[in-house]
Amino acid sequence: MPFELSAEHETFRKVVREFARAEIAPHAAQWDLDHHFPVGVVRAMGELGLFGLTAPEEYGGSGGDLTSLCVAIEEIGRVDQSLGITLEAAVGLGINPILNYGTDEQKQRWLPDLTAGRALAGFGLTEPGSGSDAGATSTRAVLDGDEWAIDGAKQFITNSGSDLTSCVTITARTGTTDAGEPEISAIIVPAGTPGFTVEPAYHKLGWHASDTHPLTFTGARVPADHLLGARGKGFAQFLATLDDGRIAIAALAVGCIQAMLEASVAYANERTAFGVPIGRKQGVAFQIADLHVMAESARLLTYRAASLRDAGAASAAVKQAASVAKLQATEFAVTSTRIATQVHGGYGFMEEYPVARFYRDAKILEIGEGTSEVQRLLIARGLGLPVE
């Protein structure tokens, strides 16, 4: 059954595309070179309403759907993957946990600034000793009177140390269940909390213009009412949050593939060899045709998953579609950058051409928010296989 975006979604796509081309594309290469997080443009994205797409109007959002967010992420990621992940993480990992599990007071306190792009929130799940095994959380939070005392560390946390960061939601062990398993809860930690240290930014392979830090908690204390959702439900909440996040990451990957397709078509029409444009050579043309197939396939899988989520489909169906989209789109993204670099030849290895930046940016797409191996595991389980 064919899937097409609505006329409203396509109109919105044009608005975001024009913004991305005018405000981001001319500067993306320099931001990448300088490892610069462009606060002003992030605020402008907020003024355009991108951070509030999925939030209700009462919190400053537009009450839109996940499909709209995917459209925005794809278009931003088409010119700059760093700003694309900034948007994806700000909404999917920063806003959504508070929106879905927060109390009325928490929503009123945090969401208006987050949805307006005046502030950003991080999502602290990964730790130095636990990557894909996210349930092996070692960060601890002890309820001491009317405060949580937090000790531990998180790593690879996006939007956690920028000038706009207002808080980070983390998972922490808050006790032991009756079955003897770790009780994992989610807690909101405001920026500037004593004992909460944002360590120096990583020197990354890609995503140079995004904000990513390790975090350390040494006796950091926050009020008891900063618990997000029910005590002991933090891990389950974060797993549910990742389902939407995987669809959004797939959209970011689609933007990458589309960028590689467009760059390769343009270069193959301009570059001549042996007296003719290289696009006349089947060896080049066939590779670019493959890029088109990748873009179309990844886009259909991504927006199918988003439409299932927006239609309120069963969680198992959404989870399966999200993993399928994330797996295929991100692996295609990595392949597309390799093909585009090959089409560009020696110039593809030079930073003056955007394909070099996209080549560096793409690999993390197969890792963040669940590696390709994790997605295959989830897909297999969804098919009823007893895989461990």
Catalytically active residues, by annotation: 369
Name the phi and psi angles at 76, rounded to 5: -65, -45
Q: How crowded is residue 142: how many other Cβ atoms within 10 Å of its Cβ?
A: 14
By the 8 A CB rule, do 213 and 198 touch? yes
What's the residue count for the chain? 388
Measured distance CA(308)–CA(317) in Å, rounded: 8
Instruction: Tell me how far CA of residue 129 lies from CA of 133, 171, 352, in angstroms.
Output: 9, 14, 38
Q: How crowded is residue 26: how many other Cβ atoms within 10 Å of its Cβ?
A: 10
By the 8 A CB rule, do 125 and 154 touch? yes
Name the phi and psi angles at 17, rounded to 5: -60, -45
Residue 370 backbone class (left: φ over 0; alpha: ψ -120 to 50; beta: rest)? left
Measured distance CA(377)–CA(224) in Å, rounded: 36
- Cα–Cα–Cα angle for 255, 256, 260, rounded to 5 degrees: 115
Measured distance CA(218)–CA(103) in Å, rounded: 26
Name the 3-class secondary structure at 74: helix
Element (H, E) at 246: helix 234-270
The strand ranges marked E within the chain are 120-124, 140-144, 147-158, 165-176, 182-190, 196-198, 212-223, 227-228, 272-273, 276-277
The first and second tokens of residue 351, run together, are: 């930073």
Q: How crowded is residue 347: how many other Cβ atoms within 10 Å of its Cβ?
A: 14
Measured on CA atoms in the order 313, 89, 203, 42, is the torsion positive or negative? positive
Give residue for tokens 């995987």: 246
Q: How crowded is residue 359: how many other Cβ atoms within 10 Å of its Cβ?
A: 23
Question: What is the separation of C-alpha 143 from the centre of its chain, rounded to a whole number of angstroms?
Answer: 32
